[in-house]
Amino acid sequence: MAQLLRFSTALPLAVLGFAAPAFAQDGLCGGSGSNGIWIGGDEAASDIATAGTYQEQMALVLGGNEYVSLFTVSEGADVRVEAAGRGGGDPVIDLLDATGSVILSDDDSGGNSASRAETYLDAGTYCMSVRSYDGGPMTAFVRVGRQEQEALTEGVSYSSGGSADGSCDEATPLGSLGSSASASVVDTPYWSFTLDAPSPISITAENPSADPVITLYGPNDNYIDDNDDFDGLNSRIDVADTLDAGTYCIAMEALSDEYAPITVTVSAYDPEEALQSLYDRGDAAPPLDGSVDVKDLGLLGSRIREDVQANEDVTWFSLDVAENSLLVVEAIGGGGSDPWLVVYDDLGRQIGQNDDYGDGLDSLVMGRVEQGTYIIGVRQFSNDRGLIRLLAERYVRAE
């Protein structure tokens, strides 16, 4: 029998992982916008393409949850999205399109732990989510505007380019597909590689101590894509569309140690590997068709406990909830473990994600859920391996 939640009507919505104000847009951004708030106050005032000035909000992020700002672009525009934490807050931002696809993510590109990204957006509706890097509570200012409007953050002075300024002409040859090399940004600010035949590609830049940022340019210094913090502090660019044969340039930047060696690899894009990487990091929910190992914990009555020998790749579980409930999931570390936790519904919409709830390293996700199947992912945030005790509880409203 499920536990009775006699105090449920007094619980603040923010604690349950829901934004308090209205303006909810069910289904927007793959469900992420369901509790979002229009950054201009309403939909009409949130059109960044026509706004006379930038639009800004104060975001309160509690207990590993996220704050979602909604905005529209009535016609294509160069847009800047930013978040600056107050005090010691360290925000991380994700920009999603109306379908829920992640357009970009950023941490620290605004300088002083602030987040900032600039990109061209086609006409449409967008969601900008803000969360705390360490999963703790945070207050932040969120700003969305066109690139010619005043910025909220200072931006980062990188140790190298970030633009094709002619240095690509002197880039160090990396080779062809399958090539890998390692050097610091100081020694090698630009790499070049050659495609002998048209191909989709993947580029990785690895060394968390350097915190690399990579920007890809094509022939004639045409910008293609950039990335920061794809996998922890490492970066990755996946170009699923086929690139023409020719010579390409990778501009290297380091947000931390410009003297630390960064391993750069260029390979053919593998859609199955890219999808598996999303599942391993917990950035997407796996399907329940047997193609990914998901342990079925069965029907959640009042309480389920499961011990996990976890590593840095997510271990997945599923459970069933028989009626509308308050679902509470905890990941409790043992022997110095640092758990990371995420919960999705069976359609892949995120219920919540958390690292370091409260004063310790344990994680907690709590939310109101409907009858259905839920998918839980748990991994080590920083350790190679260790014991994590997974606890799921269900509460129903007292009669």
d(CA 29, CA 352): 15
Residue 9: pLDDT over 90 = no
Residue 331: pLDDT over 60 = yes
What CA–CA distances, in Å, run from 35 to 329, 346, 396?
Answer: 21, 19, 22
- Residue 310 pairs in a beta bridge with 386
- Per DSSP, the three-state class of 366 is strand
Residue with tokens 């996946």: 238
Model confidence at 162, pLDDT cuts 50, 70, 90, reads very low
SS3 string, 254-295, reads: ECCCCCCCEEEEEEECCHHHHHHHHHHHCCCCCCCCCCCCEE
**CATH of 167-269 given 3.30.2350.10, 3.40.50.300, 3.40.630.10, 2.60.120.380:** 2.60.120.380
pLDDT at 154: 84
Domain residue ranges in the chain? 3-146, 167-269, 285-397
How much is the average pLDDT of 336-365?
A: 88
Q: Is residue 111 a contact partner of residue 156, using CB atoms and an 8 Å limit?
A: yes
Q: Is residue 294 a contact partner of residue 324, using CB atoms and an 8 Å limit?
A: no
pLDDT at 309: 92
Residue 245: pLDDT over 50 = yes
Look at 73 and 241; give whichever has higher pLDDT: 73
Q: Minimal CA–CA distance to 82: which of 27, 31, 28, 119?
A: 119
Instruction: Say whether 285-397 and 167-269 share the same fold.
Output: yes
- Quick: pLDDT tens for 43-90: 999 999 999 999 999 988 876 688 999 999 999 999 999 999 987 788
Instruction: Give the chain's mean pLDDT.
Output: 85
**CATH of 285-397 given 3.20.20.70, 2.60.120.380, 3.40.190.10, 3.40.50.11260:** 2.60.120.380
pLDDT at 6: 38
pLDDT at 323: 93
CATH tag, 3-146? 2.60.120.380
Model confidence at 357, pLDDT cuts 50, 70, 90, reads confident
- Residue 95 pairs in a beta bridge with 104, 128
pLDDT at 26: 59
pLDDT at 2: 55
Q: Is residue 186 a contact partner of residue 143, using CB atoms and an 8 Å limit?
A: no
